[in-house]
Amino acid sequence: MTLRFTATCAFGLERLVEEELKTFGAAEVDREKGAVHFSGKLGVSYRACLWSRFSSRVLLDLGGFEVPDEKSLYDGVRAIDWSGHISPSGTIAVETVQKRKSSFPGYYASLKTKDAIVDQIRDRFGTRPSVRVERPEVLIHLFLDGDKAKVFIDLSGEGLHRRGYRSSGGTAPLKESLAAAILRMTGFPADTEAGTALVDPMCGSGTFLVEAALMAADCAPGLGRDYFGFTGWLGHDPGLWADLIADASDRKRRGLAGKKTAIIGYDSTSLSECRKNIRTAGLEGIVMIEQRDLAHLKSPILANQFDTRILVANPPYGERLESPLTASFIQRCLIRKLKEEFAGWRAGILIASACRFDGGEEDIKRTKLFNGPLPCELNVFEVSGSGTADNASIRRMYKPALPRSDDFSNRLRKNLKNIIPWAEREIIDCFRIYDSDIPEYNVAVDIFDGYVRVVEYPRPQTVPADAAGRRLRYCADAASEVMGVPRPLIHAISWGEKRRSRSDKTDEWFRNLKEVSEAGMRFLVDLEAARNCGLPLRQRLVRRFIRDNAKGSRFLCLFCGSGSATVSAAEGGALKSLSLDPSTANITWSRCNIAVNGFSSESHRVMALDEPEALRDLRESFDLIFVDMPDPFRRKAINAESLLKAAVERLSDRGRLLCFMDAKMPLPAPLISAKDITAHIVPRDLKRGWRAGRCLILPGDQLQV
């Protein structure tokens, strides 16, 4: 007997469901938004329940009718012969979905539908089925569209995305049916002789990995389920279902034996849930996983033997992040890693629709999707080019555009000749080339990875502001011509000029920060800042010390600022870190820097500093602590001695505390026994007239600079 069915699905998956149903033998296939209608024998619906990777539910159509009022709804439902569907002693539940507003609410419609069914069965058999909300024997699905109603029996019973291998959803889980659809839209599995390699760099609970393995090995996604809505339905054919299960089991055995894929997942957090899901799905030995930060993502050597190589990712966004702003910087890191390590691969990146994806590729196929109620966008593209930095190009980058002969220009040219070779040897992209060498030109000229900052030092009150402004513009123009840097990339900062307070920085301000490189790390800098732009050159060797001594440590950073020291610790292999700062803007800045480098926000936390109480409340100890002591004249409320004492109390038995402080600041009592290592941390390009501060280490006998 030919029956009429409807397969529901997430918006955007209708075409995939239609193609899938046709392979199951469906006829008269017709799709609309969120649903595909089809005809066929009972076996077609069974195959859809067992084999559909993209459908949400499979419904048996029992008919429709007009419902201008509640009586017509009751009468319409009661007119259906329920004796062939529901046992008088069985269990039922009713779910109502409303497309357009009806004359009565959904919960009331469910109640009237239930009443009509049980009244008919009780009148006919003298007994009635009971209601069971969780996993009833028969689930009735009522669809209301204004004054029209359609009644279905839900053969799937519960969402088909529930494959049976995931015990818990994890954080903001990706639905299995959507994951399978994304894999298919990205081109997995490719029908090639050499097979397909798949990498998920942010695998989380492993949904992409398991779905890919099920697809590659020809495993029915419903084979691991222990509940379907048709098993208690009176029209169920157990023999037919048993045959389909036997066939699917045989195909799974053969598929796993003949698999031609490499499926690899990485994640920065614990993989215990992912490993459990893989084991439950029976895919141990098929899927490979490894704990690894996005920062250290590399193309696996194993993938080179495959013709088709695909990377899929569902980067965190929204509730999965401490700061939603960091989503764009995680994407930026992912794109950079793709260009550095995965040229020639095909990528499929799922993002929230609120986040604009810019993969740097001209040909990106964008598809609107929904993960539950959340609107998303899938971006599929071929990865081209390489984002690997070429430090050897420093010499070529700063090539004079025009000959210029004056004292300032000649000094710039001389300094460049001396400093550029050193910067190339040391692989330094951010450095100083002029530091008030000539008193008449009282500025500092700093290079930040292709950008230039010309910062005026404090000037005597006898110097008119307009004259100083002309001199500053002259220096900026000279720097542009001598170095061959376009004038828009030169940032001239006048002394005393009022700048925007960090307390009122907007998300757009953070997104517009310039991204520069230092020792293989990326940093977001504010080149228009009057003081600290976010990457203090004076602390370059301090950051190197932290990076070189952070491996396997627990790192604490007080007054973390933009988070540059924390990123250095993470790059050096710190197991976890905690960064504290009283400024909300600095907290956001630090999180963005951690994200743009691809480090985990769970392993590297950033929190508000309520000194020194915040430290005393901590129960954990730290192996390496860095205190970037603020200027006491700017933060008079800070009790340096209490803060440092609390920090020392948090040191582990063999821990070290590093403190960078203003040279004029009195030495706090907790640092009396500390060793002054300032001479070791002054960078070569800042040695002239060093006035930036001093650096101390505690305990001093463990110095390894």
pLDDT tens digits along 643-663: 888 889 999 999 999 999 988
Predicted pLDDT at 389: 47
CATH superfamily, with its number, for domain 531-702: Vaccinia Virus protein VP39 (3.40.50.150)
> What topology does CATH give the domain 391-493?
Transcription Regulator spoIIAA (3.30.750)
Average pLDDT, integer, range 59-69:
96
CATH superfamily, with its number, for domain 176-217+260-382: Vaccinia Virus protein VP39 (3.40.50.150)
Least confident stretch, 56-65, 116-125, 479-488: 479-488
- 701-705: list long-range contacts, CB under 8 Å, 24+ apart: 701/675, 702/654, 702/656, 703/675, 703/677, 704/549, 705/545, 705/677, 705/680, 705/681
pLDDT tens digits for 125-148?
Answer: 999 999 999 999 999 999 999 999
pTM of the model: 0.90
pLDDT grade, residue 622 (50/70/90)?
very high
Shortest CA distance to 483 belongs to which of 461, 505, 451? 451
Shortest CA distance to 233 belongs to which of 117, 84, 88? 84
* Share of residues in the chain with pLDDT > 70 (%): 92
Average pLDDT, integer, range 38-59:
98
pLDDT tens digits for 487-539?
Answer: 999 999 998 776 555 556 788 889 889 999 999 999 999 999 988 899 999 99
> What topology does CATH give the domain 3-154?
VC0802-like (3.30.2130)
39 touches 5 (CB < 8 A):
yes
Query: Which segments of the chain belong to CATH 3.40.50.150?
Result: 176-217+260-382, 531-702
Shortest CA distance to 568 belongs to which of 583, 558, 557, 559? 557
**Whole-number Cα distances in Å, 409 to 366, 429, 619:** 50, 21, 56
Asked if pLDDT for residue 358 goes beyond 80, the answer is no
Predicted pLDDT at 664: 82
Average pLDDT, integer, range 383-399:
60
**Whole-number Cα distances in Å, 668 to 130, 462, 672, 696:** 76, 37, 7, 11
Predicted pLDDT at 392: 45
317 touches 294 (CB < 8 A):
no
Least confident stretch, 222-226, 277-281, 701-705: 701-705
Average pLDDT, integer, range 403-429:
90
Predicted pLDDT at 312: 98
Q: How many Å apart are CA 339 and CA 504, to the nearest integer? A: 34
User: In one letter, which amino acid is 104?
Assistant: F
Query: Which segments of the chain belong to CATH 3.30.2130.30?
Result: 3-154
Predicted pLDDT at 586: 94
Across the chain, mean pLDDT equals 90
Average pLDDT, integer, range 26-38:
97
pLDDT tens digits for 106-122?
Answer: 889 999 999 999 999 99
Predicted pLDDT at 319: 59
Q: 638-651: string of b/e by CB count within 10 Å (b at 16+)?
A: bebebbbbbbbebb
The size of the chain, in residues, is 705
Asked if pLDDT for residue 477 goes beyond 90, the answer is yes
Asked if pLDDT for residue 377 goes beyond 60, the answer is yes
From first CA to last CA, the distance across the chain in angstroms is 83
pLDDT tens digits for 156-178?
Answer: 999 999 999 987 655 557 999 99
- More reliable by pLDDT, 36 or 506: 36
Least confident stretch, 352-361, 389-398, 468-477, 565-574: 389-398
pLDDT tens digits for 569-606?
Answer: 999 999 999 999 999 999 999 999 999 999 999 999 99
Token pair of 289 as six digits: 């996983």
Average pLDDT, integer, range 668-676:
88
Token pair of 201 as six digits: 């760099």
Predicted pLDDT at 402: 58
Token pair of 611 as six digits: 């000194």
Q: Give, in degrees to the nearest 5, the angle at Cα 675 between 612 and 576.
A: 50
pLDDT tens digits for 315-329?
Answer: 987 656 666 788 889
Predicted pLDDT at 703: 45
pLDDT tens digits for 282-294?
Answer: 999 899 999 999 9
Q: How many Å apart are CA 576 and CA 111, to the nearest integer? A: 54
pLDDT tens digits for 457-466?
Answer: 998 888 888 9
